[in-house]
Structure 1
Amino acid sequence: MRSESGYFVAVMSTRYPAATLALALVAAAVSGCAPAPEPSPTPTPAFASEEEAFAAAEEVYRAYNEAGNARIAGESSPDPQDFLIGEALEADIDGVRFLQEEGLFLSGVSALTSFTGVDVADLSGDPTVRARICLNGRELRVLNSNGMDVTPQDRNEVVAQLVTFVRVDDQLMITTESDAPAEEC
């Protein structure tokens, strides 16, 4: 003869195997037979110092600028969009689309002339790094579909930007780029 609780378990295991497993886990936890949960590892800080965070952000920006110069030269790799997320990615997509729709393309290179760390937020968790970037675009030209130079005559050859980086997984990504006063360069 089967006990009432044995009957319940037998019926549950044949009709509702997931419920039986849940019931067994609850019973083991209540009886103290379940192993103790592993302590979660202490999170490793993203960077040991602001200087380290700024150095990592500068490395990312230099690689991004080189990828942009490679794209201008007609190379498909590395893709500058691999360094972007959020507003910065949307702006790059819009910029590429605008040039294509207008029949324009770029020629030349831009050079990073300075990188100055501004601040770092949440150094020990998922940091946000802000930096002022100065780019020299003296050699960068806008050409039309006939190859004629249509670069605006009044453009600034040196551009200052405030760039924000965020940590995504284990790497920094550029999330925003906004104009900064050119005299800061």
Structure 2
Amino acid sequence: MTTRGRRTVVVIVAIALGQLLGCAPAAAPVPTPTPAFASEEEAFAAAEEVYRAYNDAVNARSNGTEGADPQRYLTGLALEGDIDTQNLLSSSELHVSGVAVVEAFFGESADIDGDFPTMTGIVCMDVSNVSLINKSGADVTPLERGQKVEQRVVFVGAGDALRISNESMVDGSTC
């Protein structure tokens, strides 16, 4: 048998063996999922950082800084709420002025083991310098609004980003 004939036989045998043995490409190794956060403390620190950046963006938007976009920190109900609030302010010819200050952040709960980590925290805000202004420039801030605001904030992770998904007022004395 010639060299060329031997190569042909080898190729045919290899193909036949592959079909008989169910030859398939080796399966790619499945990566082991790693948690987004190594600890609850790390998760709460990241959540606080996101909330402080969000608050800075809200303050910038309220004070007319071009390009300020607090909505990039929001998702779900929080995003819907912000859109609704901006629409209500616009239709009522009102705007917010002043600076809200995050005084404290307390981690409340965290689920950091899944693909989509979630955290809940309490944010203590000083809103004493924030006013609601009408089209005439008059301060129409409700008198019953306190100087301090306490909110429960829910954060969700998606990919490498952490977003605020819900925010609600808290009646309590954590702050």
Using the alignment, how far apart are the partners of 1:29 and 1:171 within structure 2? 46
Specify the alignment match of 1:45 in structure 2: 35
Cα 1:50–1:33 change in 2 (3 A) is same
User: Structure 1 regions of 5+ residues with no counterpart?
Assistant: 1-27
Q: RMSD of aligned C-alpha atoms?
A: 1.7
1:69 to 54, 59, 62: 59
* 1:43, distance to aligned residue in structure 2 (A): 1.0
Using the alignment, how far apart are the partners of 2:38 and 2:114 within structure 1? 8
Percent identity for Structure 1 against Structure 2: 47
Using the alignment, how far apart are the partners of 1:29 and 1:66 within structure 2? 63
* 1:157, distance to aligned residue in structure 2 (A): 1.4
Specify the alignment match of 1:78 in structure 2: 68
**1:44 touches 1:124 (CA, 8 Å); kept in 2?**
no
Specify the alignment match of 1:133 in structure 2: 123
**2:100 touches 2:127 (CA, 8 Å); kept in 1?**
yes
SS at match of 1:183: coil
- Give the length in aligned residue pairs: 159
1:119 to 109, 120, 125: 109
User: Structure 2 regions of 5+ residues with no counterpart?
Assistant: 1-17
| TM-score, with length taken from structure 1 | 0.81
Superposed counterparts of 1:19-58, under 5 Å? 31-58=21-48
